[in-house]
Chain A
Amino acid sequence: MHGLLLAAALQVAASAGEARVVALNEARRLVNAGKPDAALEALRPLAADDPQAALLRGVAHYHANHPVQAIDTLLPAVPKLPEGSLERREAVQVLGLSSYLAGRIAEAIPYLEQTRRWAEGNPELSYVLGMAYVQTRQADKARDTWARSFGVPPASAAAHLLAAQMMVRAELDELADTELKQALVLDPRLPRANLLLGQTALFRGRLDEAVALFKRELEISPGDAMAFYRLGDAYTRQLQWDDALAALQKSVWINPYFSGPYILLGKTYMKKGDLAAAEGMLRQAIAYDPNNKAAHYLLGQLLQQAGRTEEARRELEAAEKLQGTTDR
């Protein structure tokens, strides 16, 4: 009798174990298929303290953009997963990414560093780790991380330039300026460094400084369409329309496929009173970049001023429909 009961119990346990494996496999399939909510549903019958189930729950939460729940799920699960196992590595990686997404930047770094040890070449990981370092004001480590990722020597001018470029992306302009100045100390003729410094000066309204930096960039890279474009931008902000026109035309000659200079040429011709030329330039900008809010907006302004109110209304409505972002 006792033997029979034991056999039945073992059979139940075996089928429960099979059900668990089925649920785990199904959850994994759903996560991979981009259905994290369904994966969480599939995992519902499994025990909360099951480390494999917890791993998949954490991964599903991460993919469902619930970073805080992912962290809460994964933190207790990680020590229960076998050291060195693929599951543990995945849990640590997702914990790092979730912590970053949840704004727990300093907490994310040790997990991301652990992950880097077994995923050195992963570019996304390098990006996130570098950003985590830069947001915690560890510029040297950020530079080192990105230098490895881009394959340049960590102490080189190129490494400082790349770090600066990433810092500009993170809107950390002061940090970027420091990197760029160091890059120019190491290599005074490094392309793009003066351009990036000039852009910061331009956006901060230091227009004379911006003009000087763009001119310096053009001494190094005489065919840089972006440098001509930014130079033209600075001149438009100074209301120096003739200088702006000259710089913007050169930018278009070198790269006729970028909408930016056409927009500024439109603005410049508007100010010079040549509405036909202005309209042509703005329509050219829209042809190259139909979703450019500024181009539609300026064209709407031009048409409004020309008394073509119905056409103006259409352009202004088009501009309003395009999502704009503020600095908030």
Chain B
Amino acid sequence: MSRARARRAAAALLIAAGTATVGRALAASTEAAGALGFSFREVAREAGLDAVTVFGGKDVNRYLLETTGCGAAFLDYDGDGWLDVFLVNGTTLEGFPKGQEPINHLYRNRGDGTFEDVTRKAGLAQSGWGQGVCAGDYDNDGNVDLFVTYYGQNHLYRNRGDGTFEDVTAKAGLLSKRLRWNTGCAFLDYDRDGKLDLLVANYIDLDLATAPTPDSGLCRYKGVKVACGPPGLPGGKNALYRNKGDGTFEDVSDKAGITRNSGTYGLGVSTLDFDDDGWVDAYVANDSNPSALYRNNHDGTFTDVAVPAGCAYSQDGKPQAGMGVAVGDYDRNGTMDVFKTNFAGDTATLYANTGQGFCEDRTFASGIGLNTRWLGWGTAFVDFGKDGWLDLFLVNGHVYPEVVQLKTEAGYRQRKIVYHNAAGRFEDVSERLGPPVTDPRAGRGAAFGDYDNDGDVDVVINNVNDRPDLYRTESDPSRHWLLVKLVGTQSNRSAIGARVRCTAGGVTQVQEVRGGGSYMSQNDLRVHFGLAGAAAVDRLQVRWPNGREEEWMGIAADRILTVTEGTGKGL
């Protein structure tokens, strides 16, 4: 049947079912999928993700605190092989009566495309100004744990392995002595001792009693009074907590050089191995400041090399309002490139890693420079079409709800952007994909992972004062894939920091297991490879977080492969 005839037939069926609107969306998606090899379907409500994320005033914000929104996580908390969803929640300045406060939500994946809200049963019903979330097995007991950041006290939840979590914040020595605005976070094993440590970005040292408000008239965006900051407000200091291995952490921020970074106002965090030396580094997207690239010095310390390496500023040395961060090898040269979302009126930034310790700003040359209207947050490099090239997904939404007064702005609620990667050159395919990509939302955090285990990567988005979105990706079934779950034995159990080289059909791709990512979010810890026409992987090489290298040969594609440290052929 020709594609046109197939579309007509599909349309007829849908109209008969009385779902013309859905039909139009699906027809557009089908067309897009035909050309691109993928499309999206928004399924949050039918999947059971229905709790509203509450965050500050809906129409007017007095403080920047009300603007940052919350993160999201894909994690398999019950170890059943199906990704569950965790969505951070916030509050309002006015607060809520006791018992009616908004709480974070953990949704258990039933494995049939639907989720069950197990928050209270799991012991995760926490309220407050929730911000970011990251996941990792910090106690190496085989159960993935959760860390949730706050404007206020962060919470570390130890996964008991029976479907419940224990709040071990105090026991772990993570109580804060002062009020901090913690944002993005990432588990990482920076000292290669096999235990996951914690990096936590901080935004502003915000005191609501003294911070200026829009009424002062001093803080305006294009003439409209808005919440003040971050410029003019004292920046927060990022924190690094070392896992002592006995269930407790120690604050090594100063000792490790984490507080000696060039910029401040930290938001999105992702781990990466920037210089491919086998020691985990970290990137922090800073708002209105040079961003930070913490290079691991192999001695328990880091140096922020973002400025000399050329991945702190725009190509002209201008600080940008960094929000989210994506890491991936988009040009397939074997190095980890960095993509950062920024403010409206600016482009997002693509830093290509040259492999010699420097970044080359390829924002315009790669086709990313086209979009300046949108204000970006959650983002990731993902091979949606399984063609072996990493595409880009950006979640957008303006900071200030007051921008609805400005007719020339893109609005408070904004559409997403999807860039299709055609051999290293990006094309904005958002319009071609149509809804739900083009549906406007006030998006913030986003996590990326294959929740339905069908071989393509899906997206969960945490929207401000709205319900979340769950984009189920539908991709060309003729294209092959491999999803690799790594299990550390000597290295940290979650294998965060591992680097995986996958060679199939004459093409080698490199991926990593990363802590954090996107905007204050945690992506699937499994590693995804799109293999295009290759039905088998010739060679899979893993460099574990402790530096050990192993390989596996001749792996059939289109499956989820669990790889355990120490079971491969040593290199």
Any A CB within 8 A of the CB of B231: yes
Q: In the complex, A101→B216 CA distance in Å?
A: 10
A102-B317 contact, Cβ under 8 Å, with A205-B370, A327-B344, A327-B345:
no
| Residue of B with least CB distance to A206 | B370
A320 touches B364 (CB 8 A): no
Residues 282 to 309 of chain A near chain B (Cβ within 8 Å):
293-294, 296-298, 300-301, 304-305, 309
A205 touches B347 (CB 8 A): yes
Q: Which of A14-22, A167-175, A272-280 contacts B (4 or more CB under 8 A)?
A: A167-175
Any B CB within 8 A of the CB of A188: no
The contact of A326 among B309, B346, B371, B372, by CB within 8 Å, is B346
A101-B217 contact, Cβ under 8 Å, with A313-B308, A328-B321:
yes
CB-CB under 8 A from A68, the residues of chain B are: 215-217
Any B CB within 8 A of the CB of A319: yes
Any B CB within 8 A of the CB of A85: no
Any B CB within 8 A of the CB of A44: no
B406 to chain A, nearest CB (A): 9
A293 touches B317 (CB 8 A): yes
CB-CB under 8 A from A137, the residues of chain B are: 407-408
CB-CB under 8 A from A238, the residues of chain B are: 364-365
B287 touches A204 (CB 8 A): no
Any A CB within 8 A of the CB of B290: yes
Any B CB within 8 A of the CB of A158: no
Any B CB within 8 A of the CB of A261: no
Q: Which of B222-230, B331-339, B429-437, B506-514 contacts A (4 or more CB under 8 A)?
A: B222-230
B308 touches A316 (CB 8 A): yes
Residues 355 to 371 of chain B near chain A (Cβ within 8 Å):
356, 358, 364-365, 367-371
The contact of B372 among A203, A320, A328, by CB within 8 Å, is A203
CB-CB under 8 A from B365, the residues of chain A are: 237-239
Q: In the complex, A188→B78 CA distance in Å?
A: 69
Any A CB within 8 A of the CB of B107: no
Q: In the complex, A170→B221 CA distance in Å?
A: 11
Any A CB within 8 A of the CB of B48: no
A237 touches B369 (CB 8 A): yes
Residues 210 to 261 of chain B near chain A (Cβ within 8 Å):
214-218, 220-225, 230-231
Q: In the complex, A206→B373 CA distance in Å?
A: 13
Any B CB within 8 A of the CB of A51: no
Any A CB within 8 A of the CB of B313: yes
Interface size for chain A: under 10, 10 to 19, 20 to 34, or 35 or more residues?
A: 35 or more
CB-CB under 8 A from B407, the residues of chain A are: 137
A102 touches B217 (CB 8 A): yes
Residue-wise, chain A 159-182 has the 8 Å CB interface mask toward B (1 for contact) of 000000000001111110000000
Pick from A298, A305, A316, A328 the residue with the most CB of B within 10 Å: A328
Residue-wise, chain A 32-69 has the 8 Å CB interface mask toward B (1 for contact) of 00000000000000000000000000000000010110
B217 touches A103 (CB 8 A): yes
A304 touches B308 (CB 8 A): yes
The contact of B313 among A101, A305, A324, by CB within 8 Å, is A324
B19 to chain A, nearest CB (A): 36
B364 touches A207 (CB 8 A): yes
| Residue of A with least CB distance to B225 | A103
B313 touches A297 (CB 8 A): yes
The contact of B318 among A65, A172, A324, by CB within 8 Å, is A324
Any A CB within 8 A of the CB of B288: yes
| Residue of B with least CB distance to A240 | B365
Residue-wise, chain A 172-209 has the 8 Å CB interface mask toward B (1 for contact) of 11110000000000000000000000000001111100
The contact of A205 among B214, B287, B356, B369, by CB within 8 Å, is B369
B343 touches A326 (CB 8 A): yes
Any A CB within 8 A of the CB of B503: no
A103 touches B224 (CB 8 A): yes
Q: In the complex, A297→B315 CA distance in Å?
A: 9
Any B CB within 8 A of the CB of A31: no
Any B CB within 8 A of the CB of A95: no
CB-CB under 8 A from A319, the residues of chain B are: 307, 317
Total A-B contacts with CB atoms under 8 angstroms apart:
113
Q: In the complex, A101→B345 CA distance in Å?
A: 22
B372 touches A204 (CB 8 A): yes
| Residue of B with least CB distance to A263 | B316
A312 touches B347 (CB 8 A): no
The contact of A103 among B220, B231, B319, by CB within 8 Å, is B220
Any A CB within 8 A of the CB of B109: no
CB-CB under 8 A from A309, the residues of chain B are: 308
B317 touches A237 (CB 8 A): no
Q: In the complex, A327→B345 CA distance in Å?
A: 6
Any A CB within 8 A of the CB of B262: yes
Residue-wise, chain A 115-147 has the 8 Å CB interface mask toward B (1 for contact) of 000000000000000000001010000000000
Any B CB within 8 A of the CB of A105: yes
Q: In the complex, A175→B344 CA distance in Å?
A: 17
| Residue of B with least CB distance to A305 | B358
A316 touches B215 (CB 8 A): no
A320 touches B262 (CB 8 A): yes
| Residue of B with least CB distance to A131 | B223
| Residue of A with least CB distance to B221 | A328
Any A CB within 8 A of the CB of B143: no
| Residue of B with least CB distance to A70 | B217
Any A CB within 8 A of the CB of B130: no
| Residue of A with least CB distance to B288 | A326
Q: In the complex, A239→B364 CA distance in Å?
A: 9
Q: In the complex, A319→B263 CA distance in Å?
A: 13
Any A CB within 8 A of the CB of B320: yes
| Residue of B with least CB distance to A324 | B319
A265 to chain B, nearest CB (A): 14
A294-B225 contact, Cβ under 8 Å, with A137-B407, A238-B364:
no
B317 touches A297 (CB 8 A): yes
CB-CB under 8 A from A239, the residues of chain B are: 365
Q: In the complex, A258→B356 CA distance in Å?
A: 33
B223 touches A328 (CB 8 A): no
Q: In the complex, A296→B298 CA distance in Å?
A: 31
B223 touches A135 (CB 8 A): yes
CB-CB under 8 A from A325, the residues of chain B are: 318-319
Any A CB within 8 A of the CB of B310: yes
B231 touches A328 (CB 8 A): yes
A300 touches B316 (CB 8 A): no
Q: In the complex, A239→B224 CA distance in Å?
A: 38
B308 touches A204 (CB 8 A): no
Q: In the complex, A12→B256 CA distance in Å?
A: 74
A294 touches B318 (CB 8 A): yes
Q: In the complex, A311→B28 CA distance in Å?
A: 56
Q: In the complex, A79→B224 CA distance in Å?
A: 28
A175-B408 contact, Cβ under 8 Å, with A204-B370, A304-B308, A326-B288:
yes
A313 to chain B, nearest CB (A): 7
Q: In the complex, A172→B358 CA distance in Å?
A: 35
B420 to chain A, nearest CB (A): 16
| Residue of A with least CB distance to B366 | A239
CB-CB under 8 A from B288, the residues of chain A are: 326, 328
CB-CB under 8 A from B223, the residues of chain A are: 103, 105, 135, 170
B546 to chain A, nearest CB (A): 30
| Residue of A with least CB distance to B290 | A320
B307 touches A320 (CB 8 A): yes
Residues 57 to 104 of chain A near chain B (Cβ within 8 Å):
65, 67-68, 101-104
B317 touches A296 (CB 8 A): yes
CB-CB under 8 A from B345, the residues of chain A are: 171, 327
A205 touches B313 (CB 8 A): no
For the complex of A and B, the 9 pairs showing the least CB-CB separation, nearest first, are A297-B317, A205-B369, A102-B217, A237-B364, A327-B345, A205-B370, A135-B223, A294-B316, A103-B225
Known A204-B372, A238-B364, A326-B320; further 16 A-B contacts with Cβ < 8 A: A67-B217, A103-B225, A135-B223, A137-B407, A175-B408, A203-B372, A263-B316, A294-B318, A300-B307, A304-B358, A305-B358, A316-B307, A319-B307, A320-B262, A325-B319, A327-B342
List, sorted by A's number, 21 A–B pairs whose CB atoms are closer than 8 Å. Answer: A65-B218, A67-B217, A103-B214, A104-B217, A170-B222, A172-B408, A204-B370, A205-B347, A205-B370, A207-B364, A239-B365, A293-B316, A293-B318, A294-B317, A297-B313, A297-B316, A316-B307, A320-B262, A326-B231, A327-B345, A328-B343
